[in-house]
Structure 1
Amino acid sequence: MRQTIALLLLLCTCVSAQLKAQHQDITFSAELSKPRMLVNSTVEYSLVLRNAQGTDLQAPDFKNFIVLRGPSRSMGTTIINGVGSSHLTHTWLLQPKREGELSIGVATIRAAGRTYRANSKKIQVLAVDAGAAALAPPDFLRAELSTDTAFVGQQIILNLNLYSTTNVISRNLMQEPDFDGFYAQPRRQYDGRPRTVIENGREYQRRTLGSLALFPTKSGRIRIDPYRMVLGTVRYRNNSSFSRRFTEQIPLNTDTMYVYVQELPQPRPDDFAGGVGSYRLQVQADRDQMTTDDALTLRITVTGEGDVERIDEFPPVSEKDWDIYDPEILQEEFLDSPTGMLGRKIFEYKVVPKRSGVYNLSPGLTYFNVDSARYVTDAPSTFKITVTGGSGQPTYDIDTSQVVEESLSLMAVSSLPAGRQYGISATESPLYWIVFLLPLLLAGGAIGWQRYQDHLDNRDPVELAKQRAAKAATERLKAAKTHLAKVEPRPFYDAVEGAVFGYLRDKFHLPVAELSRRNVAEKLRGAGALPELTARYDKLLKRCEMALYAGQDSADDLADTYREARELITDTERAID
């Protein structure tokens, strides 16, 4: 009897926990398509119920708005990393009745035996400035910097944003800056979704077309030249009896920008490692007890928002108590993130104690923090290492060999070989004819070299770009092959994606800002590629994206991915001139 009661209690507890977890997953929220708007425009108001089927919806009172449409009902299901979720959405299209801060009240719905509430929402409604709106252009291009004052080596995010009120059907970037004075890294993880913004009394759809991380390499006033783009928009020309649709080509360009860059403050700390930005340190020691015959291995991982290539080796322990050998750099890479470029660099140090004792080691990295504008040291871990005396026979093997230059020495004078003759005629000497014919040979060589240079200059630049593209792709795939041999999935997929994008960039003269799966597909179709080739590119690039950003970097598909990348480049060269 007791066992039956215990089993029933356990079953009730499990069911209760499961129902509670289900209720925790159910949400009901109100959403607005924009936080601010003009009094003569519209806004979408949505009520979204997730992970449930709802009944008895009680919509709010739209007393401050005119309901132009709605409610419209839509349903959908999404699966992310194997976890599914559903949503039920009711949407209204509203127009405000007046200016000011307007409120939309609370909404309720019944789901899974409970009543859920969606909080009230507020929206700022602005007056229309007819004069300013008349002067504002319908479309414009703007390059926006995260900051226009920085230190040498500080990360600056540049977003290329298009503001549009028209129906844009094409974009062609004609010119982009060369970023002289910066180290530039293109970003892929930026938000390219359209956003509604108000500029100069007009509402625009703002879309980020491309994003770069810039690292100044010198101080002073550094100029960034304009981007130039041709926009294709749909227009209508009305005649007396019909309306004719046509495409208008609109040239746009950004303003010239300047970044004011200053040197790092002086004096710099003696242990300054060169990093500029915001960094974190992770340290691992392979032991906590050792003898003077052993070497301690310290693996130090530096990550942060900054250029990790600027970080030099630094002493992780006191040179008074330890012999420090040159570290091995196990990894150095840039990782894209929604907030900017993240750098990661892994050092592996070998340090040998000079004497026995108990040591408290706190390896630290000294860098320049741009937020506080001062030098800081990050030393997150302290290791207690106990060292006892050894036998004098090292247990480690560290290559400390150096290349020794041979000293200059005089050779002994040797006697002339037998049979050497003197007094022969100059014309009978081979040296005479070499000297005599040398000007003629040089002249002929110069003429041949000039003709060869003329041939190079007269080559078709497009054809030359194709040759360079194929060669560059082969070189980039060599890096991928190295990571393939070492079974390193993440660096491998990054190298494959970089090789494919680099090849297509040179093949179709794509600017960095337009390197995306969608643009690649459009360029291939425009060049006459078969749908099968376009689909293969999309599949390969999608596989790389899933490996790099969705955690699906299995080592099982590396060989197939490498083979597919090589075959794609070869087939593209054969199919597209």
Structure 2
Amino acid sequence: MRLFLCNLILLVSSFLYGQTSFFAVADAEKVRPGNLVEVSFILKNGEGEDFISPDLSNDFYILSGPNRGISTVIQNGQMQREMSFSYTLQPKRSGKLTIRPARIKVRGKTLKSNSLAILVTSDGKQENNNDQDFFIRAELAQNTIYLGQQVRLDYKIYTRKEIQNYSILQESDYGGFYAADIQRMDNMVQTTNIKGKTYYTKVLRSVALYPQQTGNQNISPLVLQVGLLEEDPQRPSSLFFNGDVKYVNVESNVLNVTVKDLPKPVPANFNGGIGNFSVSSVIDKTSASTNETFYLTITILGDGDPKRIKSPNLNLPPFFQLYDTKSEEEERGENEGKKFSQKSFTYVIQPQKEGEFSFQPSFTYFYPITGKYETKSLDPILIKITAGQSNDIPTKEDAGQFVSLTSEDFKSPSIFTKFLWIAGFTIPILGIAFFYVYKYLRQRKKVKSPSEVTTDHLQQAKIFGDQGDFENSFIELSFALRTFLFHRFDIPKENFSTEQIIDKLDQSGLSNQALTQQLRQLLNRFEMVLYAPSMKKDQWKSTWEEVCIWIKQFDKG
């Protein structure tokens, strides 16, 4: 009885479904280089398992797949069931490319598909004819721009059919551009008329492009897979849909952009910005003493490439020492179809002479609309400086030559101090005269030499560390090392960076690889320690000694 039922089911299934077949199809036999081809392996009227695809990676880039699909329809009173495995491929080379058969098991039997031949040639199938019911365009706001100028690129789809979904198969190659996505809020469906046909249009994606090199630049197509809802007259009685979703590949047009260089001559005070900008500043105090530092932050907001923007011109008065400069970038959203960013520069400044001072920072940029360099000056910054308290710090040697310090210098009196003590007994008149002359010179000397300032910071760092104030200890250590580097290599302080000082060090030929690597580690540690409180406590003493030893070894080298 069971055998009879099984045979009956097989007979009914055979009648309902028809003969089982497994075959391969492609949407084109001839394509152009760079175009796409859709390849599907289809099983009809069977329950398949253990699908084995041929090796496609030798001749094609696999952009999508295998994508599995199942459909069931009734046609002429007979039920048709299809199982498909599809791939979106892009040829790697020209010529005749062969796709070998795939395999699948049906009721324990292995079926093999046919092979396919794809001819890749310059006269192959051309995609995206504007007479189609849908296509995609890449549209630039401008085709001629300046180096570093932002330009918006929109990928817009035009369709007369209902689109169920889409996915990006391949990004455009932006080549000589830096690209950043724009999140547009006005992305509404609109209508337009092309050659007497009405299309629905929508911007699928917007990108801000910043050219990095001059000349004629090409932007390759964006490739999409689009799911179109359409009715098939050959399938009038689908069990699940009023219409089928058909997946097709579509690519945008190629774009050509002309990138011009900035006009010559470029001003000496040019700060790298290309676009439209606003500038603001904040200072943490309007009065300070000569042994205090104050912080100045300048913020630049605009539509230019923030990576090109360099530190503004501070125009500091004499006797102001500039130390660390820290920069931060932040996205600030979109406005009128453009991406806006801000870049902030925070400066640590120490005055070295009392009085009332005024300085006016400025920012010079290139404005593409006028084709001219423009300068925006901030309101003058006023600050009152009073004399700071003098520190009773251990004696230093002659300020004209920097003294490298080690921990032993703070454990016992220096040789020079011992010499003064002995000399005070042997020639008291000379000792008293030297004392008064030295005191007089210290009172008259309002501005310290770079080597004195460096040594002061090293000594103050140890004092803070011994007192448990590890944060200020690291700040003083950073000041000490950077002051030494500023003056040794004559680097503008507002443009100081780790990579710049490493390059200067390598070019000088005064350092070996070990010293260079150690300097990089020290500078990186000063950056990291700001965010690692435990590190400040654990490493302040070893870092203090490393800085002293590094300066001493560099001087010897």
Determine if the TM-score, normalized by the shorter chain, exceeds 0.5.
no
> TM-score, normalised to structure 1's length?
0.43
